[in-house]
């Protein structure tokens, strides 16, 4: 039996490719729009949205990068990853202050300490966004999008985008399957951290493919959001603990806040276990 690639891709592949290019470009444009918005007003919601947009765009690069022509992909990935990282510090500070204020009457010392850290992070963000070479990166992105063609797929020995999506989905689910069982041990923070990242990647993948294939993955996406929410909150506790270590606070305040975090972490672990029993996370993907 011949293993040669057929002369033409299936008729639906042209539609899938067109949608893929559209989703790719729309997400890039959204990232650039949010960058401009943050530079203009530094609104906390815009900063959070920009961080999410950078993560979604990284998911697009991970999905379509292997099937697009060689370009400056390494530099693009590096720049987007750096953007995500620089935006994370402010989000952690805002979430930490909101959490502590919901638990106790935050003292002036606590509020002042977080305010100082927040000012530093805002300066870092502004500096990073100003230095973000969007014009050069835009050329790379456009080359990648333009190269997402039937000819490129044939050159890379990939006949079916649908089978490619299926392979990616399976590869992204496997770490989730392997981590679920070991992530419930109280001391296994690293497994829960890895599980959170794996779930987030699979969720972003499914959100992209839902648009490209015009499919409804709402049930599995809603479940992934639940898992991501509780695991994300558990990761927040770790980040909050690290933040406290960098703040100049009275000893009693430090002890009080650390005790609150310890209690919250135990409660979240129980919630996570209950979620696993109530809604087991199993593989669900169709093309």
One-character DSSP codes across 167-191: HHHHHHHHHHHHHHTTTTSTT-HHH
- What was the pLDDT predicted at 110? 80
Residue 267, H or E segment = helix 251-278
**Which of 133, 158, 183 is the C-terminal boundary of a domain?**
158
**Which of 94, 125, 158 is the C-terminal boundary of a domain?**
158
Q: Which domain holds residue 46?
A: 11-158
- What was the pLDDT predicted at 10? 42
pLDDT in tens, 46-88: 999 999 999 999 999 999 988 887 766 888 999 999 999 999 9
Both 171 and 287 in one domain: the answer is: yes
Both 180 and 240 in one domain: the answer is: yes
Calpha distance 246→185 (Å, rounded): 28
250 Cβ contact partners less than 8 Å away, ≥ 6 residues apart: 109
The number of domains in the chain is: 2
- What was the pLDDT predicted at 108? 76
CB-based contacts of 3-10 (< 8 A; 24+ apart in sequence): 5/154, 5/157, 5/159, 6/159, 8/150, 9/150, 9/153, 9/154, 9/159, 9/160, 10/160
Q: DSSP code of 69?
A: -
Calpha distance 276→234 (Å, rounded): 15
Q: Are the beta carbons of 118 and 108 closer than 8 angstroms? A: no
Answer yes or no: is 5 within a domain.
Answer: no
Mean pLDDT (whole number) for 115-136 = 94
């Amino acid at each position: 039996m011949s293993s040669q690639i057929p002369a033409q891709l299936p008729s639906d592949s042209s539609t899938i490719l067109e949608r893929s290019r559209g989703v790719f470009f729309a997400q890039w444009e959204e990232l650039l729009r949010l960058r401009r918005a943050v530079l203009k007003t530094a609104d906390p919601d815009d900063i959070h949205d920009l961080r999410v947009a950078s993560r979604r765009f990284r998911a697009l690069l991970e999905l379509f990068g292997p099937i697009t022509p060689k370009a400056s992909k390494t530099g693009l990935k590096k720049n987007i990853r750096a953007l995500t990282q620089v935006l994370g510090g402010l989000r952690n500070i805002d979430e930490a202050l909101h959490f502590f204020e919901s638990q106790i009457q935050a003292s002036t010392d606590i509020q002042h300490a977080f305010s100082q850290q927040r000012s530093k992070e805002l300066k870092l963000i502004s500096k990073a966004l100003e230095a973000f070479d969007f014009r050069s990166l835009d050329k790379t992105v456009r080359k990648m999008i333009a190269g997402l063609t039937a000819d490129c797929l044939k050159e890379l020995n990939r006949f079916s985008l649908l089978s490619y999506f299926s392979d990616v989905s399976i590869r992204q689910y496997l770490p989730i399957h392997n981590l679920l069982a070991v992530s419930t041990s109280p001391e296994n923070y690293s497994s829960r951290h890895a599980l959170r990242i794996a779930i987030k990647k699979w969720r972003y993948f499914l959100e992209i493919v839902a648009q490209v294939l015009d499919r409804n993955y709402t049930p599995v996406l809603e479940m992934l959001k639940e898992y991501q929410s509780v695991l994300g909150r558990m990761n927040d506790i770790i980040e909050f603990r690290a933040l406290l270590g960098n703040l100049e606070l009275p000893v009693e305040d430090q002890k009080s806040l650390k005790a609150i975090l310890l209690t919250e972490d135990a409660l979240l672990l129980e919630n996570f276990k209950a979620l696993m029993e109530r809604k087991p996370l199993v593989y669900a993907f169709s093309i």
